[in-house]
Amino acid sequence: METGEYYFLELNPRLQVLAPCNNVIILFQLQSGGGIHEFSDSQFGIALAIANMVLGLKEIQIRGEIRTNVDYTIDLLNVEMIRGGPGSYKLRMNGSEIEAEIHTLRDGGLLMQARTLFLFPKTFHYCFLGYFFQGHLSSCTEKEKATQERLVEPLMSLVKSYEGGRESHARVIVRSLFEEYLTVEELFSDSIQLAFDVAGCPLIRMLMVTFSHGYHSSLCFIQADVIERLRLQHKKDLLKIVDIVLSHQLALKASQLLEQTKLSELRTSIARSLSELEMFTEEGERLSTPRRKSAINERMEDLVGTPLAVEDALIAFFDHTDPTLQRRVVETYILDSYVTYTFCSGDEDQAQERINKLAKILKENTLSSDLQDADVRVISCIIQRDEGRVPMRHSFHWSAEKMYYEEEPLLRQLEPPLSTFLELIYREVEDINSHEMVYHSVTPANGPLHAWGTPLVPASRSSGLNDVGMIAWLMEMSTPEFPDGRKIIVVANDVTFKVGSFGPREDAFFHAVTNLACDKKLPLIYLAANSGARIGAAEEVKSCFKVGWSDESSPERGFHYIYLTPEDYQRIGSSVIAHELKLENGEVRWVIDTIVGKADDLGVENLSGSGAIAGAYSKAYNEIFTLTYVTGRTVGIGAYLARLGMRCIQRLDQPIILTGFSTLNKLLGREVYSSHMQLGGPKIMATNGVVHLTVSDDLEGISAILRWLSYVPPYIGGPLPILRSLDPPERLVEYFPENSCDPRAAICGSNGNNGKWLGGIFDKDSFIETLEGWAKTVVTGRAKLGGIPVGVIAVETQTVMQIIPADPGQLDSHERVVPQAGQVWFPDSATKTAQALLDFNREELPLFILANWRGFSGGQRDLFEGILQAGSTIVENLRTYKQPVFVYIPMTGELRGGAWVVVDSKINPEHIEMYAERTAKGNVLEPEGMIEIKFRTKDLIECMGRLDHEIISLKAKLQDIKAGIVSGDAEALRKSIMTREKKLLPVYTQIATQFAELHDTSLRMAAKGVIKKVVDWEDSRFFFYKRLHRRVSEGSLVRTVRNAAGEQLSYTSALELLNKWFLASDQAGAARAVWEDDDAFFSWRDDSRNYEKYLEELRVQKVFKQLMELGESPSDLHVLPQCLSAVLSKVWHR
């Protein structure tokens, strides 16, 4: 090929210029197989010379609409290591070259070369080695033999240890481990000096033994672990270990193993006694069958009467394969459990009198207390009556309310195990892990019990056995913020049971779980995947009702009623409300007026239950932390729950809807909607304020839940989840706004033009933005400052577009795009701000507001859409905020008009602090608006007449002309003055604007006391961290003081008490300014002795006040002794 113009320019019209290189010749040939022709030594990679090829490729010019890889080829050829194949490289190291195949290993390493070598099998039996060794020893002297034997002694000891097999070798190793341990530790059982004097060991031996004893605790741990895995036959070593006092933990393990060994011996003795093995001995052969039976009975009685604890040994044979032995063991166990004590005998007529006397004795406090302390729960008495009559049993049970034993008539004829030990009731269930049938107790395992029962009982239920469409977990998890564990309650729909629909049982379960979370003040997580309220029909009526046709021969003419036959009505009459109808032919029909149904989840009862759980979940949002994760389709009441819980995470492929799209299409009479996602997908719910976060899958959803929980206290009123931050709090703020402040960069930083990260006010990578798709002129989320979680509200300074989708149900509807200016509150963004305030307050988070608003949008449509209501809600939510609030006007920011009003510190002076950056602005109006009112054109002309010398001169001449002092053209002078004023008006307008701007500075705000301090932008992070740390600590102490004194003590009063106590302490001294010293305050706070006595006085005053209030009411005073008795009893039991 000599030229490529025809092939490239003619066949590729998009190629405009082709300037080939004429100095480089590449020999290649395109064959049918697509391979490159190899000519001599000239391949494509070394055509003439790689260096010349690089230069030639750089001269090639190809311009057009197609993309080329010439530059990529140039860079590839400049690489020192040339790759020759998928894993083939030529490497140059230490002046030599080598071609190697590189393979990637599973651990990420690179295997440069691998070879496998095979050796020819050769036979060299160990016997040959033995013959060779014996022959060698026979030719050696005795001295040489001793030397050789010492050389092979380790090998011989190893071989001998395997004489009994691998198990024998293991026993030798373990026994040597015990022996070496005892050799050292027995020396230290009494006195180290005495031990070494007796032993007479050399100094190096003493040092070695002492050094070994120094690792005593670690050796004990190893020995204990070995003992746990052992079952020894010889117990002498264990007895020695038990005798060593120093190793108490190891001695405990050894004692337990000895007990297990003894128990094994007892089991062997029981099996030998109750089986018939001994009957075939020389002594047993002389026993006849009746005598053998009698001997077995005697042995059973001996086991019952023995002082040994044979219960555990007997239980071990309950599942024995020998049915005869199993029966005898069970009989022996029953005889041992039901040992009776006969106190006296007498006539049956005296039995009731004695029972009454026993009941009276059991009511005595002393005896009842002694029996209760001995853990006696039931006292059962049996009265043996005449032969043929069943004995009478009287059982006296402990009453926690009456504090004595009383007879329970319902349990009178039940044996104590059946009446009290409900754990004996079990059922067979399939184990989730092993898929084997196991016995599962109905009641939970033994543990702490409550005096008052709870409607919820934790249970482990196997898959597929759920009979309620909901399930809940009480989870305890260890997190970085709470390594000791934190608890949450999770409730979820079970879509495997009736598609996760809500019926009365599901509603009751959800209601109970919600109340449990509120009682325990724990976070409640709802995993939503449901089909709404359950829809049902009375199947028992559906399967048997009949139709009363208008014409029996022509059903198409319609019907009059549906009815039941007398037989069916007799069977399912409770499921319907019907009246009797007698036909002329004598037939009786029960015409159905109403179908009630047998089941309790058919219709309106489901809606009633849905209303109950809606109210409970809404109440839970106000009392605890609630979070809903939509992991599956959520319909009807499920959608309402997602909104009532406020905080919601939605999976991108799961909708939140009220009604299915097919049902809506039927209502509209045409095909309008095509899917559920069109109704309630993320494009709708993430842009209307319902959904806070969206995730792509369940893994991301669970991660979002856990990260959200990392900002929330473990329970209401608990400590904040503070975790030491990797971003140092004393770091300077490196992001500097130029013209406007980017809210996200100010919060979490951004990358500069050179790629360097410029930090913001809060910790790096700690900001989680929520409600991102809704009301974009306001930015809300959660961040951390020095590891302390906070809520953040910031302002978007750029114009954003609000997209209002078209309604498919209206043919003339179309999508609208509405621009929204930055730094302005609109109805949706004001509502978003109010909602964020409410969420942060419920989560007990401190709040930062980066205030940068110019005001509210007050147009007609905005007022119609509720801008006033939303602004008022912001004020109300700030007024009731119970955590520290910091309002900061950032660099280049401004706060004006109504926007200042709704975030002012005087709304909630106990919790809100206001600050401003040095360049921040604030006033009622902007300077341009202010001069329109306070510096009008008339005022500007007056200012010109006062400051401009030319106008002053012209006015003086005009005045002289008017006074007749001089002659001249007055009208010309007036025109000159007007011309001059018109010329200067733009400049003086700027002067007036500057004059108005000087009223807006942050220094004037501080001088007037509307802000607390001017905070420079770069120092704001460290300043606010110190203030946040101090205020969080103060808030914790204030809550402690208010709990001690009562809620009637205000926040300010409690803080004044703390100030007073602090100034009276040694840390304060005489200077009152020490209260502002954070180091002195934290030192005083960390020592609770500084204020514990004051808290005790406040508690005394609170209780005294409550008692005095009770004394003012005669009815309350009447029950006061009983209340005091109950309180004292509770204190005594504690």
Tokens encoding 545: 């009702």
Per-residue pLDDT tens digits for 891-944: 999 999 999 999 999 999 999 999 999 999 999 988 888 888 888 889 898 998
Same domain, 755 and 653: no
Same domain, 516 and 546: no
- Cα–Cα distance between 489 and 288 in angstroms, integer? 68
- In this structure, the number of other CB atoms found within 10 A of the CB of residue 143 comes to 8
Provide the 3-class DSSP secondary structure of residue 1078.
Answer: helix
Per-residue pLDDT tens digits for 749-764: 998 888 889 999 999 9
Q: pLDDT value at position 899?
A: 93
Same domain, 913 and 934: no
In a domain, 1064, yes or no: no
Give me the CATH number covering residue 782.
3.90.226.10
Q: What mean pLDDT comes out for the span 968-981? A: 87
For residue 19, name the pLDDT band (cuts at 50, 70, 90): low
Per-residue pLDDT tens digits for 597-641: 988 888 899 999 999 999 999 999 999 999 999 999 999 999 999
In a domain, 221, yes or no: yes
Per-residue pLDDT tens digits for 120-154: 555 555 566 666 677 777 778 777 777 777 777 77
Per-residue pLDDT tens digits for 275-297: 655 443 334 444 446 676 777 77
Q: pLDDT value at position 379?
A: 78
Per-residue pLDDT tens digits for 150-194: 777 777 777 777 777 777 777 777 777 777 777 777 666 654 444
Q: What mean pLDDT comes out for the span 329-345? A: 69
Strand partners, 547: 562
Structurally, how many domains does the chain consist of? Answer: 7
For residue 874, name the pLDDT band (cuts at 50, 70, 90): very high
Find the range with the poorest average confidence among 379-383, 487-491, 556-560: 379-383
Q: What mean pLDDT comes out for the span 876-892? A: 95
Same domain, 562 and 518: no
Same domain, 350 and 262: yes
Q: What mean pLDDT comes out for the span 843-852? A: 96
Which has the closest alpha carbon to 997: 945, 943, 933, 920?
920
Boundary-marking domain end, from 551, 568, 595: 595
Same domain, 322 and 406: yes
Provide the 3-class DSSP secondary structure of residue 855.
Answer: strand
Q: Pick the more confident residue, 628 or 1064.
A: 628
Per-residue pLDDT tens digits for 438-465: 666 555 445 544 544 555 566 666 666 7
| Percent residues over pLDDT 90 in the chain | 36
Same domain, 550 and 525: no
Same domain, 824 and 744: yes
Same domain, 671 and 741: no
Vertex 895: Cα angle to 893 and 901 (nearest 5): 160
In a domain, 965, yes or no: yes
pLDDT at 271 over 80: no
Q: Is residue 382 within 8 Å of residue 414, measured between CB atoms?
A: no
Same domain, 787 and 685: no
In a domain, 982, yes or no: yes
Same domain, 407 and 331: yes
Per-residue pLDDT tens digits for 49-76: 565 666 666 666 665 555 455 665 666 5
Q: Which structural domain, as residue segments, surrounds residue 569?
A: 539-595
Q: pLDDT value at position 153?
A: 79
SS3 content of the chain, % helix, strand, coil (to 5): 45, 15, 35
Boundary-marking domain end, from 368, 402, 422: 422
- Cα–Cα distance between 503 and 609 in angstroms, integer? 7
pLDDT at 571 over 70: yes
Q: pLDDT value at position 781?
A: 96
Find the range with the poorest average confidence among 98-102, 388-392, 657-661, 966-970: 388-392
Q: pLDDT value at position 965?
A: 76
In a domain, 210, yes or no: yes
For residue 840, name the pLDDT band (cuts at 50, 70, 90): very high
Per-residue pLDDT tens digits for 683-702: 999 999 999 999 999 999 99
Q: Pick the more confident residue, 1111 or 1018.
A: 1018
Q: pLDDT value at position 917?
A: 95
- Cα–Cα distance between 174 and 464 in angstroms, integer? 48
Q: Average pLDDT of the chain? A: 79
CB neighbour list of residue 407: distance below 8 Å, 6 or more residues apart: 359, 394, 395, 396, 397
For residue 1, name the pLDDT band (cuts at 50, 70, 90): very low
Q: pLDDT value at position 825?
A: 94
- B/e letters for 905-943, b = 16+ CB within 10 Å, e = fewer, are bebbeebbbbbbbebbbbbebbbeebbeeebeeeebbeb
Boundary-marking domain end, from 595, 615, 634: 595
Same domain, 869 and 981: no
Q: Pick the more confident residue, 70 or 787.
A: 787
In a domain, 129, yes or no: no
Find the range with the poorest average confidence among 152-156, 223-227, 242-246, 541-545: 242-246
In a domain, 215, yes or no: yes
Answer yes or no: pTM beyond 0.85: no
| Percent residues over pLDDT 70 in the chain | 71
In a domain, 715, yes or no: no
